[in-house]
Structure 1
Amino acid sequence: MKRPLTALRLVAGTALLAATTGGAQAEDLPVLTVYAPDYFTSEWGPGPQIEKGFEARCGCDLQFVAGDVLSRLMLEGDKTKADIVIGLNTDQTARARKTGLFAPSHEDNSRLTLPIKWTDDTFIPFNWGETAFVYDKTKLKNPPKSFEELLDAPDDLKIAIQDPRSSVSGLALLLWVKAVYGDRAPEAWAKLKPKVLTVTPGWSESYGLFTDGEVDMVLSYTTSPAYHIIAEHDDTKAAAIFPEGHYFMAELVGQLKTSKHPELAQDFMDYVLSDDFQGMIATANWSYPAIIKEGFLPPEFASLPRPNKTIFYSEDEAEALRQPALDEWLAAFR
């Protein structure tokens, strides 16, 4: 998941340092090209730490290409320059797998410590979390205690959500609503719409509105408050936990069959599940690592409330529901 936008103000300048990693000597090294989401490669994302960690062991030059990963890959097809794709989730993997571009992961899924069983032999998760509406305890004294209470809240409650056509978290909200309300999803959207102040293209814009005080609640993740607690020493942000359950999201990595450096690509897949990589996830990506060992989670994570029910769709289920759920959302928000 993602680091709150306030990190931009705290770590300004680190991008310059990250950009110089490797120096001129990288010119003679093999290049491993990794397609990743925009947030991932930014100065507040996990990319710079991952680049530094992998280059220290690979004898290569890891280069991120940021943008809409799935759309770019589908457009390029077997002419893609990517060796690795990182940042997809299970709501997208059916379309990604259909391209036929991905190689087996050759990883041992039994090491994973997810709240669901992971059996995919192509895509491996590197982190996970659950969607949630985050609020400021000092400004919203009586937050909704259930999804139903959220829908029934006064219409002057201001919420920011993300567009499901351009945002994985926005798509997760569609599937979350569908899982909770089923055929009643259109009714749920009709009740939620008056409270939605804005629909942003991505998560960063929404979260920025929240941290700037423009909205009362924002669609984010149960782990988002960890950033505020650890980096800002601010415990006023919290995730509203609903008894209906919360939608599970894992970010994934896969290697391409067309890679010019298949051994390096496999090395990167191995690195993703290494202690070095997994140990940095909690505070590099503000989410739960796919493998949790002693010392991987700061003690502050223990204070984060977890839902009693985890909602998860397989990739086939998510793909089957995606367009009908999107049509219902568009009918409400057009």
Structure 2
Amino acid sequence: MKYLAFATGLFAATAAVAETPVLTIYTYESFVSDWGPGPAVEKAFEETCGCDLQFVGAGDGAALLGRLKLEGKRTKADIVLGLDTNLTAAALETGLFAETAVSADYDLPVAWNDPVFVPYDWGYFAFVQNADLANAPTDFKALADSDLKIVIQDPRSSTPGLGLLMWVKAAYGDEAPAIWEGLSDNIVTVTKGWSEAYGLFLEGEADMVLSYTTSPAYHLIAESDASKTAAKFSEGHYMQIEVAGKIANTDQPELADKFLQFMVTDAFQSIIPTTNWMYPAVTPEAGLPEGFETLIQPEKALIVPADQADAVRDAALAEWLEALSK
């Protein structure tokens, strides 16, 4: 009798697990790290969805699109989170993404009306340095003329790396190849992703690292360390808007839509500033954390429209590869 009761209970528990819907989200490694937004987002969403939210780290941002192209319609992803506007046109060309209806009062520097991709945060690329760095550069030409050592990320796998290419191209146009030739001897190494590059900088392997204007907020808020700052460049700073999109052949379309709508709620957006260390796409009810007011504010915001990004990216990548091969 006891065995029968045990077997019945075990069957019921197994059936309940089997009936729990699973939502699989591909994202970048730092998002799912212990210190990233992933754990808190997973907990908050699972409290509302009656589901099992599973994040899958798939390299850095630009690597997500590469993986998705390889998997095609066989992908196990229901949502891809971590592309940006430099990649959304290329993502659309795969035919793997579907439209979604998300309503939000965005607080972005640009108008947003994309029916496919939902923004969840944004920021400006910048070179982060120690605050006491002598003769800190104020533009790319000064950086190229200096003896400073920098670490950057590969634009073929990393969205910050790609953002740097777009930044130089947007700021200098046809002069971009000359800028890269000047910078080539400043580059200590090119890493696959952001985490590796930032780690090398913190270990003292470089004077500056490609990151974000918001990165010093981490050190200030989480570590009570005001020794890091972002260099303010007179050309302006390139803007990144990070987005998520629903896979067209997902077997959880309603759950995917629910998550995308959840992304623009206070429950998600309030997590972003002190875990992803970016500006939220929708300002949380409590506002930005204390310390964000100390961050540099670019005098000029640079961005290439998403529908032009492919052409600009291809030209910028060719120039970058040629300059670094010399």
TM-score (norm 2): 0.91
Query: Is the Cα–Cα contact under 8 Å of residues 280 and 296 in structure 1 kept in the other structure?
Result: no
Q: Does structure 1 residue 82 correspond to structure 2 residue 77?
A: yes
Deviations 1:87-113 (A, max 9, x none): 01111111111112212120135x111
Q: CA deviation at 1:27?
A: 5.1
* Correspondence for 1:146 among 131, 139, 151: 139
Unaligned runs of at least 5 residues, structure 2 = 1-12
Q: Does structure 1 residue 202 correspond to structure 2 residue 193?
A: yes
* Equivalent residues in 2 for 1:122-271, closer than 5 Å: 122-138=116-132, 140-153=133-146, 155=147, 157-271=148-262
Unaligned runs of at least 5 residues, structure 1 = 1-22
Letter in 1 for 2:129: Y
Residue 3 (structure 2) aligns with: none
Query: Is the Cα–Cα contact under 8 Å of residues 143 and 240 in structure 1 kept in the other structure?
Result: yes
Residue 93 (structure 1) aligns with: 88
Q: CA deviation at 1:79?
A: 2.2
SS where residue 166 of structure 1 aligns? Answer: coil
Query: Is the Cα–Cα contact under 8 Å of residues 266 and 285 in structure 2 kept in the other structure?
Result: no
Query: Is the Cα–Cα contact under 8 Å of residues 33 and 82 in structure 1 kept in the other structure?
Result: yes
Deviations 1:175-234 (A, max 9, x none): 100011111111000111111111111111110111111110000000000000001100
Q: Does structure 1 residue 59 correspond to structure 2 residue 53?
A: no
Q: Does structure 1 residue 73 correspond to structure 2 residue 68?
A: yes
Query: Is the Cα–Cα contact under 8 Å of residues 103 and 261 in structure 2 kept in the other structure?
Result: no
Query: Is the Cα–Cα contact under 8 Å of residues 226 and 301 in structure 1 kept in the other structure?
Result: yes
Letter in 2 for 1:304: L
Distance verdict in 2 for CA 1:142–1:27, change over 3 Å:
farther
Q: CA deviation at 1:69?
A: 1.7
* Correspondence for 1:296 among 263, 280, 287: 287
Letter in 1 for 2:224: H
- Relative to structure 2, which stretch is displaced further, 268-277 or 97-106? 97-106
Q: How large is the Cα RMSD of the aligned pairs?
A: 1.6
SS where residue 56 of structure 2 aligns? Answer: strand
Higher Cα Rg, which structure = 2
Residue 116 (structure 1) aligns with: 110
Q: Please identify runs of 4+ aligned residues in structure 1 that moved more than 6 A.
A: none
Partners of 2:203 and 2:220 in 1: CA distance = 17
TM-score (norm 1): 0.89
Q: CA deviation at 1:76?
A: 1.8
Q: CA deviation at 1:304?
A: 0.7
Residue 6 (structure 2) aligns with: none
Partners of 1:206 and 1:241 in 2: CA distance = 20
Percent sequence identity is 53
